[in-house]
Amino acid sequence: MQLAIDPATVKGFLDPAEARALHDAALAASPNGPMLEVGGYCGLSALHIGTAAKAAGGLLYSLDHHRGSEENQPGWEWHDPELWDPQAGALDTLPHFRRTIRQAGLEEHVVALVGRSDVVARHWATPLALLFIDGGHTMAAALADWRGWSPHVMPGGTLAIHDVFPDPADGGRPPYEVYARALASGLFEETAAVRSLRLLRRL
């Protein structure tokens, strides 16, 4: 995996081993169709998935409202004051995302979709070769991502879920609930687990 920029310079929450697993899954999926991630933030995961897309002639849609998840808001654990837009009175991660993608030379391989996950999903109709769910961690947000996007994973396609913690002491529960629902649906089988990343295959 040869990245055009140092991932340590990009804000985000992605372990290097998880990043490599995502990259490799994206490399395999790219020839089969477009990929979509929910939760772009400042472009760290898009850097890895997009680099694979570039190598394999693929495309990543990176969806985010770019106003930060609940845990990114002022006063919360994962708030970063550098992302605050005083004019909007809100977080704005989009300029950071765009800079990452531009600096990495990925503008032809990563397309930003700016909006709420459920709103963008409403009229989506394109089968996805890979779906990466890494959005909001409230139960409502996680389930909306599951309901809105998982039906679009093509047979044989990959569903990747971040921040899956079987032990609630390690982190919030909603991504685990999405993972559990995916397995319980009978439509997905697990193919890999790398730290908090789970990779599943659509049957």
Residues in touch with Mg ion (CB under 5 A): 134, 162-163
Judge whether 202 and 156 are in contact, CB under 8 Å: yes
3-class SS at 38? strand
Give the relative orientation of helices 174-184 and 139-149 as an angle to the nearest 10 degrees.
30
Q: Which is nearer to Mg ion, 33 or 130 (CB)?
A: 130
Residues 11 and 93: their CA atoms lie apart, in Å, by 10
Q: Which is nearer to Mg ion, 33 or 44 (CB)?
A: 44
Judge whether 47 and 5 are in contact, CB under 8 Å: yes
Write down the least CB distance from residue 100 to Mg ion, Å.
16
**Helix (H) or strand (E) run with residue 190 in it:** strand 188-194
Active site residues: 137
Residue number of the CB closest to Mg ion reads 162
Q: Which is nearer to Mg ion, 33 or 35 (CB)?
A: 35
Residues 49 and 162: their CA atoms lie apart, in Å, by 14
Q: Which is nearer to Mg ion, 162 or 198 (CB)?
A: 162
Q: Which is nearer to Mg ion, 23 or 162 (CB)?
A: 162
**Strand residue runs (E) in 22-122:** 35-38, 60-64, 84-85, 90-91, 110-114
Write down the least CB distance from residue 183 to Mg ion, Å.
19
The region that residue 158 occupies, defined by phi over 0 for left and psi between -120 and 50 for alpha, beta otherwise, is: beta
Write down the least CB distance from residue 174 to Mg ion, Å.
11
Write down the least CB distance from residue 162 to Mg ion, Å.
4
Distances (CA, A) of 98 to 78, 95, 103: 21, 5, 8
Write down the least CB distance from residue 186 to Mg ion, Å.
26
